[in-house]
Amino acid sequence: MRGPASSSPAIVVAPDSFKGSASAPEAAAALARGIRRVLPDADVRLCPMADGGEGTLDAVLSRGGSRRTARVTGASGTPTDADFGVLADGATAVIETAQVVGLTDAAGAHRDVESRTTRGMGELLRKLLDAGVRQFMIGLGGSSTNDGGAGLLAALGLELLDANGVSVDASPQGLQRLAQVRAERLDPRLASARITVMSDVTNPLLGEGGATAIFGPQKGVRSDRIADVDAQIGHFAALAEQAMGREASKLAGAGAAGGLGFALQLLGGSMRSGAEVVADLIDLDTALRDAAWLITGEGRTDAQTLLGKTPLVVATRARRHSVPATLISGGIERAALQQLGPHFAGCFALPFGPASLEQCMAEAPSLLADCAEQATRLFASIAGRTA
């Protein structure tokens, strides 16, 4: 390195999580370690990223705010302690659906998907409204439910009634008896709430490309039940839309998280790419200002990465600031390299030689540091030489 300008360059470190190996903050810390071995005085800016799914809280809270817990109804109906975040402004909450009605809810996993409900999501929103929160950033993804968001809406005051005017359970099972929906008792504070829904899913709520047909099977909807469940949710959605005087079932992303995308959009929420929202929340653009280089990363890279996954979102923002963005990945599908190439200032993988997936995962943090170190050596040699 020559000259003081190049020996303390600003380097942004903005990886996604390496699932099963390192959270995004852990990955960012490891990458920073590697960078500092070469450039001890570098201004390393840690911006752990997420895509709105699991890890979003970790990423967002690494930049400030506080992590809190609320006891709400889990997907299976038993109480669960759900983590959420409140940003430094005290008025913005960050919620991971997976924390509330996620696949990791062990009790929920045992119960049939047709009896699972998103009621806990509505309960959490209500508690937050009580606490004065009016801005909600809700990450979908990792849900175990397929109730069309009926549970969330019911917990917020939407009345789901049978032919006799008796409440039905806000689950696919309960919705079989649904005859009318009334919106009069919906929480009035929702009118002043601003809901941002983080999801990369673009499926509508119903039909062939809908929540039940596409995501139902992996949640346990039996193939011979798909048509019936889809019809029940369709019936609920039509009544809910009528009661609310608004349509949402055909919107892109209505089919996300078993229909939570529908329910939240019916409440006026707007869908955005999770990584874009997280990038805003952690203020990636400010970190990129005057930066010399950026390293992003993810556990596995293939052509899907180009469909707006975290590293692409990060690289696109970097490009806007004329900052070269290098990708360090747990593994890169070589067939995708040709398409990935133009987006990144180099795509590098973790293994330093023949290795098994288990080895790579077990050693991910130290591999991340080593890999970042090597990329930094190339960066520093060239930057120092031509500066």
Residues that bind its own copies (CB under 8 A): 6, 37-38, 292-293, 300, 322, 324, 326, 329-334, 337, 341, 344-357, 359-360, 366-367, 370, 373-383, 385-387
Q: In whole angstroms, what is the distance from residue 170 CA to residue 260 CA?
A: 12
Closest contact distance (angstroms) between CB of 379 and its own copies is 6
At its nearest, how many Å lie between its own copies and the CB of residue 301? 9
| Residue 156 or 371 having the CB closest to its own copies | 371
Give just the sign of the alpha carbon dihedral 66, 67, 69, 75: positive
> Which secondary structure element, helix H or strand E, spans residue 224, and what is its range?
none
Q: Which is nearer to its own copies, 303 or 352 (CB)?
A: 352
For the bound state, the minimum distance from the C-beta of residue 304 to its own copies, rounded and expressed in Å, comes to 15
**Would you say 303 or 382 has its CB closer to its own copies?**
382
Compute the least distance from the CB of residue 367 to its own copies, in Å: 8
DSSP annotation of 205: S
Looking at the Cβ atoms of 76 and 376, the one nearer to its own copies is 376
By beta-carbon proximity to its own copies, the closer residue of 196 and 305 is: 305
Nearer to its own copies, 1 or 244 (CB): 1
| H or E stretch covering 37 | helix 24-38
- To its own copies, the closest distance from the beta carbon of 366 in angstroms equals 8
CB of 325 to its own copies, least distance (A): 8
Query: CB neighbours (10 Å) of residue 223?
Result: 9
Could you write out the DSSP letters of every residue in 111-160? Answer: S-GGG---HHHHHHHHHHHHTT--EEEEE--SB---STTHHHHHHTT-EE
Judge residue 11's burial from the number of C-beta atoms within 10 Å of its C-beta, 0-12 exposed, 13-18 middle, 19 or more buried.
buried
Q: Which is nearer to its own copies, 82 or 328 (CB)?
A: 328
Helix/strand/coil for 206 = coil
**Cβ(266)–Cβ(259) under 8 Å?**
no
Q: What is d(CA 80, CA 373) in angstroms, rounded to the nearest whole number? A: 42
Judged by CB, which is closer to its own copies: 91, or 387? 387
Q: Is the separation of the CB atoms in 95 and 138 below 8 Å? A: yes
Contact predicate 46/54, CB 8 Å: no
DSSP label at 267? T
Contact 170, 119 (CB under 8 A): yes
Smallest distance, its own copies to C-beta of residue 384, A:
9
Q: Per the structure block, which two tokens stand in for 11?
A: 């380097």
Residue 360: CB minimum distance to its own copies, A: 5
88 or 352, CB closer to its own copies? Answer: 352
Amino acid occupying residue 259: G
What CA–CA distance (Å, rounded) separates 34 from 18?
17
CB of 16 to its own copies, least distance (A): 16
245 versus 354: smaller Cβ distance to its own copies: 354
Least distance to its own copies from the beta carbon of 238, Å? 47
> Measured between alpha carbons, how far is residue 65 from residues 22, 44, 59, 100, 331 in Å?
22, 21, 11, 19, 33
Residue 119, token pair as written in the block: 């009621």
Residue 324, helix vs strand vs coil: coil
